[in-house]
């Protein structure tokens, strides 16, 4: 690299830093001079928004960063506010120590609350924290009554030195300092780049089991989040008391907790900026409603005015519903530049998302040509010429999971009525995704058919969901989770939707096919062995009356003798040539006698296809799939 060539690089690296510095300075100047060019009323709105933002930032530490949805905000606000008020009014404490004491009292409550919540998961955290605040509000009320302060505590004027804070502008600066301190503290603590604690929180939130396994004490970090968050909320409670003058019981309601969690979700969980945006929106709604109302015709505007607070809350509630439904990551996303990849998926929101991709493959993997084989389109043309239509035709089918992970990279094949096809390949070859592409994905899965067509008797079924496809006659026996554990064996069969009677097998026939199921008809399916589960899954599929039966990994994890009996069942089914089947297997040897054709998959492509015995003899299968028995050893 030449000296001249390297020159622009440092400049380019400097550019964003300079740009950022300029932007930050500009923002600082605007923030610091705001009261000078805003009206008193507008400054008050901004001041309120800042106070709200401080509380939201503090709550965000527990609900966003640590991922524990807390509906107990007002319990901490009350504890902090009342402690500070009590010390100020009854013991003449000065502001700063009283506020810190309020924070500490709230932190102690946080510690007490954190301990039981460690045992709770998900919705129970929401419900538990929701319950805690009722108890705290009641105790606070009793506390005030005993102290003969039934209306709450009088904070008096906040003074700094000898200067009482009276003007809105002064309050604005105090709130600015409050938000700045809270925001900076939380941001520094949670930044995964620089803070070990921040990384631990993220790890614990994403997967607590893995976090524990790598030595992170999840419980300790959750307690830490609760304690710090409640300390900050407690301080905010005290400041709120000063701001309103008298902190009354009536003003502290459960609705506040709901509002704050809503603010976080609106803005975006886990982001300091999101908390500020959410708080700004929440504070701005009443004023926006007022502005809009004033512009309405007089009759209408007076009606709206009559119900102003209800209309405001309705708008707030509707916004919450809309934001969660369409951008669960919150409004903060609207300010990010990531416009290209805006489609969110459950997986992005939750590490435990369903529908994982098997493998990432390039769509350009070369496809080996099979000696003497027919391509599906040729086969289809021939079949059509003979007046036969394939039952199912996959044409250029591409299956993708989120983040552009391609699992099936454009495959073509046809299944003729009554034929049995085996699909073999290594882990991650795309076999399961191929079956799922044929049987359909449900909306919450990340998998999609992104190109090509699945034609069922000549009609595209791309838009049908798994239920509709199963009702058409395409029935999948999936690899995992194949039975309803809590239902009895018999109920596992009869819950399924039954297709036309000429195809659906009666219960008696199924019990003849799988005698071990008949013996356990009334026991819960959760107690069945692996082989019996596979039989039950097959039986239910047959009960549904399929025209095309898709079986994923018939032999997976089963003893050879069990596999043998399952293959016998498949062979028996094959005798009536009306049922077509696709059998996906890693163990190619067991398919040889039951399938008409074998498709060999690798990297999302069909790399070989042909007669099972022919493929076996050619050694191609063995070359690709290690561990397959040699022909001589076949039983």
432 lies in the site for other proteins, by CB under 8 A = no
Q: Hunting for tokens 């804070």 — which residue is that?
A: 165
CA dist 253 and 259 (Å) reads 10
Task: Give the chain's end-to-end CA distance (angstroms, integer).
Answer: 66
Total number of residues that touch other proteins (CB under 8 A)? 79
Per-residue x/- track, 387-426, other proteins (CB under 8 A): ----------------------------------------
Q: Between 63 and 190, whose beta carbon lies closer to other proteins? A: 63
Among 39, 302, 444, 460, which residue interacts with other proteins (rule: CB under 8 A)? 444
Whether 210 contacts 197, CB under 8 Å: no
Among 130, 153, 242, 413, which residue interacts with other proteins (rule: CB under 8 A)? 130
Select the span of 84-92, 138-146, 175-183, 508-516 touching other proteins (CB under 8 A).
138-146
Q: Between 162 and 481, whose beta carbon lies closer to other proteins? A: 481
Minimum CB distance to other proteins, residue 472 (Å): 10
Among 258, 367, 426, 567, which residue interacts with other proteins (rule: CB under 8 A)? 258
Q: How many Cβ atoms sit within 10 Å of the Cβ of residue 64?
A: 29
Crossing angle for the helix pair 308-326 and 298-306, to the nearest 10 degrees: 80
Question: Which neighbouring-strand residues pair with 453?
Answer: 395
How deeply is 575 buried, as exposed, middle or buried, from its count of CB atoms within 10 A (0-12, 13-18, 19+)? exposed
Q: What is the DSSP annotation of 9-69?
A: HHHHHHHHHHHHHHHHHHHHHHHHHHHHHS-HHHHHHHHHHHHHHHHHHHHHIIIIIS---
Q: Return the sign of the alpha-carbon dihedral for residues 522, 527, 531, 534.
A: positive
Per-residue x/- track, 541-580, other proteins (CB under 8 A): ---x------------------------------------
Q: What is the dihedral of CA 568, 573, 576, 577, to 10 degrees?
A: -100
Binding to other proteins, residues 477-536 (CB under 8 A): 478, 481-487, 491-492, 494-499, 524, 526-529
CA dist 303 and 310 (Å) reads 12
User: Quick one: which of 253, 242, 243 has its CA closest to 87?
Assistant: 242
Q: How long a stretch of residues is the chain?
A: 635
Binding to other proteins, residues 596-625 (CB under 8 A): none
Select the span of 112-120, 146-154, 237-245, 508-516 touching other proteins (CB under 8 A).
112-120
Select the span of 50-58, 313-321, 370-378, 512-520 touching other proteins (CB under 8 A).
313-321
377 lies in the site for other proteins, by CB under 8 A = no
CA dist 175 and 122 (Å) reads 33
317 lies in the site for other proteins, by CB under 8 A = yes
141 lies in the site for other proteins, by CB under 8 A = yes
Whether 500 contacts 467, CB under 8 Å: no
Among 262, 432, 555, 592, which residue interacts with other proteins (rule: CB under 8 A)? 262
Residue 481 φ/ψ, nearest 5 degrees:
40, 60
167 lies in the site for other proteins, by CB under 8 A = no
Among 1, 12, 13, 123, which residue interacts with other proteins (rule: CB under 8 A)? 123
265 lies in the site for other proteins, by CB under 8 A = yes
Q: Hunting for tokens 């502005």 — which residue is that?
A: 291
C-alpha separations of 190 from 54, 110, 187, 226, 441 in Å: 16, 19, 5, 14, 37
User: Quick one: which of 232, 127, 153 has its CA closest to 189?
Assistant: 232
Per-residue x/- track, 52-81, other proteins (CB under 8 A): -----------------x------------
Select the span of 81-89, 437-445, 561-569, 603-611 touching other proteins (CB under 8 A).
437-445
Q: Between 273 and 319, whose beta carbon lies closer to other proteins? A: 319
126 lies in the site for other proteins, by CB under 8 A = yes
Minimum CB distance to other proteins, residue 302 (Å): 14
Select the span of 39-47, 136-144, 153-161, 330-338 touching other proteins (CB under 8 A).
136-144
Select the span of 317-325, 333-341, 373-381, 553-561 touching other proteins (CB under 8 A).
317-325
Q: Between 348 and 587, whose beta carbon lies closer to other proteins? A: 348
358 lies in the site for other proteins, by CB under 8 A = no
Q: Hunting for tokens 């003058």 — which residue is that?
A: 245
Among 310, 381, 509, 572, which residue interacts with other proteins (rule: CB under 8 A)? 310
User: Quick one: which of 62, 90, 64 has its CA closest to 76?
Assistant: 62
Binding to other proteins, residues 228-247 (CB under 8 A): none
202 lies in the site for other proteins, by CB under 8 A = no
Q: What is the DSSP annotation of 422-457?
A: EEEE-TTSSHHHHHHHHH---TTSS-EEEEEEEEET
Select the span of 129-137, 213-221, 284-292, 371-379 touching other proteins (CB under 8 A).
129-137
Q: Between 391 and 490, whose beta carbon lies closer to other proteins? A: 490
Among 18, 21, 30, 135, which residue interacts with other proteins (rule: CB under 8 A)? 135
């Amino acid at each position: 690299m030449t000296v001249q060539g390297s020159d622009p690089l440092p400049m380019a690296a400097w550019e964003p830093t300079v740009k950022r510095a300029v932007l930050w300075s500009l923002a600082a100047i605007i923030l610091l001079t705001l009261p000078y060019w805003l009206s008193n009323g507008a400054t008050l709105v901004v001041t309120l928004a800042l106070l709200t933002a401080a509380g939201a930032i503090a709550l965000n530490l527990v609900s966003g960063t640590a991922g524990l949805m807390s509906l107990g905000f007002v319990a901490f606000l009350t504890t902090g506010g009342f402690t500070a008020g009590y010390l100020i009014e009854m013991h003449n404490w000065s502001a700063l120590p009283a506020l810190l004491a309020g924070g500490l009292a709230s932190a102690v409550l946080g510690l007490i609350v954190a301990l039981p919540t460690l045992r709770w998961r998900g919705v129970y955290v929401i419900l538990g924290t929701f319950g805690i605040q009722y108890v705290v509000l009641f105790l606070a009320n009793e506390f005030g009554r005993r102290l003969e302060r039934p209306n709450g505590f009088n904070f008096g004027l906040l003074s700094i030195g000898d200067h009482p804070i009276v003007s809105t502008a002064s309050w604005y600066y105090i709130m600015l300092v409050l938000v700045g301190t809270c925001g900076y503290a939380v941001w520094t603590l949670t930044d995964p780049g620089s803070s070990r604690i921040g990384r631990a929180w993220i790890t614990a939130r994403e997967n607590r089991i893995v976090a524990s396994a790598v030595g992170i004490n999840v419980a300790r970090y959750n307690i830490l989040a609760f304690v710090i968050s409640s300390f900050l909320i407690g301080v905010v409670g005290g400041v709120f008391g000063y701001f309103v003058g008298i902190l009354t019981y009536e003003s502290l309601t459960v609705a506040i907790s709901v509002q704050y969690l809503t603010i976080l979700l609106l803005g975006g969980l886990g982001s300091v900026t999101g908390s500020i945006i959410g708080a700004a929106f929440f504070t701005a709604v009443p004023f926006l409603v007022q502005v809009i109302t004033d512009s309405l015709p007089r009759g209408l505007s007076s009606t709206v005015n009559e119900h102003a607070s209800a209309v405001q809350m309705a708008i707030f509630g509707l916004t919450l519903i809309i934001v969660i439904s369409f951008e669960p990551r919150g409004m903060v996303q609207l300010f990010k530049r990531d416009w290209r990849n805006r489609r969110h998926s459950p997986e992005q929101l939750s590490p435990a998302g369903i529908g994982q991709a098997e493998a990432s493959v390039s769509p350009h993997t070369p496809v080996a040509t099979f000696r003497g084989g027919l391509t599906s389109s040729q086969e289809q043309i021939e079949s059509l010429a003979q007046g036969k239509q394939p039952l199912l035709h996959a044409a250029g089918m591409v299956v993708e999971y989120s983040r552009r992970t391609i699992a099936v990279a454009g495959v073509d094949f046809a299944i003729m009525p009554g034929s049995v096809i085996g699909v073999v390949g290594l882990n991650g070859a795309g076999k399961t995704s191929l079956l799922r592409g044929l049987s359909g994905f449900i909306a919450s899965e990340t998998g999609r058919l992104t190109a090509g067509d699945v034609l069922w008797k000549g009609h595209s079924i791309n838009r049908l969901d798994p239920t509709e496809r199963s009702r058409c006659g395409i029935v999948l026996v999936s690899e995992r989770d194949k039975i309803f554990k809590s239902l009895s064996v018999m109920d596992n069969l009869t819950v399924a939707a039954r297709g036309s009677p000429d195809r659906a097998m009666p219960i008696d026939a199924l019990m003849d096919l799988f005698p071990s199921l008949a013996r356990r008809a009334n026991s819960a399916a959760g107690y069945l062995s692996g082989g019996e589960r596979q039989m039950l899954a097959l039986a239910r599929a047959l009960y549904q009356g399929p025209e095309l039966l898709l079986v994923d990994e018939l032999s997976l994890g089963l003893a050879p003798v069990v596999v043998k009996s399952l293959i016998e069942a498949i062979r028996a089914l094959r005798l009536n040539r009306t049922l077509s089947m696709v059998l996906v297997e890693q163990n190619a040897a067991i398919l040889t006698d039951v399938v008409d054709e074998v498709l060999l998959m690798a990297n999302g492509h069909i790399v070989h296809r042909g007669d099972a015995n022919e493929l076996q003899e050619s050694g191609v299968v063995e070359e690709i799939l290690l561990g397959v028995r040699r022909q001589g050893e076949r039983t």
